[in-house]
Every structure is written in C-alpha cells, then in structure tokens.
Amino acid sequence: MRAFLGIGLPAGVREAIASATAKVRGLHAPVAWTAPKNLHITLDFLGEISPERVALVERLMRAVASGFAPFSLTAEGGGAFPGTRNPRVLWVGFLEPLELVRQLQQNMGNALSGAGFPREDRPFHPHITVGRTRGALPPAWGERFVQALSGKGFGVVPVSSFTLHESRLEPSGAVYTPLCDFRLDGSGKREIREEREL
Ligand code: 2AM
C-alpha cells in the first residue's frame, strides 16, 4: 500500500485556495491542479508499505501524537519548488511561527527512522501542493503564479490531529483514503518537564 502522513484542511481553507487559484487555473498551462478535496499538508511520505508495517506506523504515531497539544497554522501566499523560474510543484505556504509543525514532523521522522523507515533527506518546508507542472510553462509563469497568491490569506488550519492516508494513483488522479487519525492529546509540555527533571 502507498501511504503518507498528513494534515487535512478545513473546507473554508480549501475553498479559499480554489478561488484564489481559479484565474491561473483558467490560463490552461500544462499543470495538473490538485482537486480541492485532496488539498493537504504532507508530513511524511512513507511510500509502499506492507500491512504489518501499517500497524507499526500506527503504534509509533500514537506515541508521537501524545507528546503534542493542538496548535494552528495560518495559510498565506505561495511559491514553487525548486524555484519560480523552473516550477515543478506549485504550493500555498504558511506564516511563521512554524516551530510546532516542524517539531511534530521531526519527531515523526525520528520515530519512523528508528523503526527502519528511510528518512526524508530534503529539509521540511510545510506547504500545500496546489499543482504539479506537466510540461514547459510560458516564460515568467512561475513568478506570475507566486504574485497572484502573494499576501493572500487562506485562513487558519487548526491542527488537532494528523492522519495516515492510503494514496492510490488512478488514471483520473490520486485517490486518498484516510486510514487512521492520531489526536494531539498531550499537553505539549512533556519535553520541558523531562528536561526539568534531569
Ligand atoms: P507534496 O504534495 O507535499 O509534495 C501524497 O502522495 C503526498 O505525498 C503528496 O502530496 C506529496 O507531497 C508526497 N509525495 C508523493 N510522492 C512523494 C515522493 N516520492 N517523495 C516524497 N513525497 C512524496
């Protein structure tokens, strides 16, 4: 099974992104746009995993989630990977502070790599992929995309859990099926307390 761990978005944020990108989507550039229902933040892409590994991931992620209290993220503006001159992935970003989501992603990566899952070698840049390019774009198209989203707010994403998803690649596009939610049900103060006890 192809799987990833991610954070879902409220309908209002997905709608705000869909309406802010409607104009650029209407330009018919060679871009595969993410269906609004599929918009999400990826925390860890697991790739192909066996059913036995799914149970292990669930155990590990429950432990990670219990170390965090809910927090929120504010979606604003956009960018392109690897850059606006040669865009492959078009994304919506988040305002600082991002320490909590970075810490969450890091703790997830530590738990997973400790259990033998390969560690993501790219630095974590929290984002929502809104499109992937499928061919050559007109000159300055990437800059225009980023300008179209610049300074635009898409709302607050309350993060009270994260989710293990199955991702099936169908001819009509990716189909994501949520398998398990991990509630952030800790106080978020566990590490500070442990440090004090030392
Ligand atoms: P991204 O959109 O943040 O780039 C589900 O397929 C999610 O997993 C995608 O949205 C993508 O996150 C991420 N993903 C897909 N294929 C990947 C890969 N080969 N390596 C890393 N992340 C991947």
Catalytically annotated residues = 40, 127
How close is the Cα of 46 to the center of ligand 1, in Å? Answer: 9
> Please, what is the average pLDDT of the chain?
93
Domains in the chain and their CATH numbers? 2-197 (3.90.1140.10)
Dig out the tokens for 69 from the structure: 């209290």
Asked if pLDDT for residue 103 goes beyond 70, the answer is yes
Distance, in Å, from the CA atom of 34 to the CA atom of 196, rounded to the nearest integer, reads 45
Helix axis angle, 99-114 relative to 51-65, nearest 10°?
140
Closest C-alpha among 68, 105, 106, 65 to residue 188: 68
**Angle at Cα 29 formed by Cα 27 and Cα 31, nearest 5°?**
125
To the nearest 10°, report the CA torsion of 154, 157, 162, 168: -20
**pLDDT for res 177:** 97
20-72 per-position pLDDT tens digit = 999 889 888 999 999 999 999 999 999 999 989 999 999 999 999 999 999 99
180 lines ligand 1 (CB under 6 A): no
Q: How confident is the model at residue 195 (pLDDT cuts 50, 70, 90)?
A: very low
35 CB within 6 A, ligand 1:
no
